[in-house]
Chains A and B, each alone.
Chain A
Amino acid sequence: MYRNKVRMTMANWQKLNTEFYSVLNNITDVEWDKWMSEKDARKSMRQLELSLRAKIQEEKLLMESIEATQLYFETLSLMNQVPPKTSIIVKCSDPTDNYPYALAA
Chain B
Amino acid sequence: MILEAYHTQGRRDKILNFPRIATGNEQWLGDGFYFWQDYEFASWWGREKKCPKGKYPSSYDIYSANIEIDKDNFIDTVFNEEDYYEFVKKVEEFAKKFAKKFKKKPNLGEFNDFIADFDLWKEVEVIRFQDVPANNALIEVNDFFYKKRIQIRVNNPERISNFAHSKNLFCV
Residues of A bordering B, CB below 8 Å? 1-4, 6-13, 16-17, 19-20, 23-24, 27, 29, 32, 35-36, 38-39, 42-43, 46-47, 50-51, 53-58, 61-62
B39: chain A residues at CB < 8 Å are 1
Structural contact, A13 and B101, CB atoms closer than 8 A = no
Known A35-B114, A62-B17; contact A54-B157, beta-carbon cutoff 8 A? yes
Q: Does B141 contact A (CB under 8 A)?
A: no
Interface size for B (C-beta < 8 A) is: 51
Residue pairs across A and B with Cβ atoms less than 8 A apart, 19 shown, are A4-B3, A4-B4, A4-B5, A6-B69, A8-B71, A8-B80, A10-B83, A11-B83, A11-B86, A17-B90, A19-B120, A19-B121, A35-B114, A46-B31, A47-B31, A50-B32, A51-B21, A57-B157, A57-B160
Structural contact, B71 and A39, CB atoms closer than 8 A = no
CB distance from B137 to the nearest CB of A (A): 16
- The 3 A-B pairs at the shortest CB distance, nearest first, are namely A58-B18, A57-B157, A10-B82
Q: Which of B4, B23, B90, B117 contacts A42 (CB 8 A)?
A: B117
Structural contact, B17 and A12, CB atoms closer than 8 A = no
Q: Which of B38, B117, B124 contacts A11 (CB 8 A)?
A: B124
- Cα of A16 to Cα of B75 in the assembled complex, Å: 11
- Cα of A2 to Cα of B114 in the assembled complex, Å: 34
- Cα of A62 to Cα of B143 in the assembled complex, Å: 45
Given contacts A42-B117, A50-B31, 12 further A-B contacts (CB under 8 A): A1-B38, A3-B4, A4-B5, A11-B71, A11-B72, A13-B82, A16-B86, A16-B121, A46-B116, A57-B18, A58-B17, A62-B17
- Cα of A56 to Cα of B71 in the assembled complex, Å: 25
- Cα of A4 to Cα of B114 in the assembled complex, Å: 31
- Chain A, Cβ-Cβ closest to B117: A42
Which B25-43 residues sit within 8 Å CB-CB of chain A?
31-33, 37-40
Q: Does B97 contact A (CB under 8 A)?
A: yes
Structural contact, B71 and A12, CB atoms closer than 8 A = yes
CB distance from A15 to the nearest CB of B (A): 8
A61: chain B residues at CB < 8 Å are 17-18, 161, 163
B90: chain A residues at CB < 8 Å are 16-17, 20
Structural contact, B72 and A24, CB atoms closer than 8 A = no
Structural contact, B83 and A42, CB atoms closer than 8 A = no
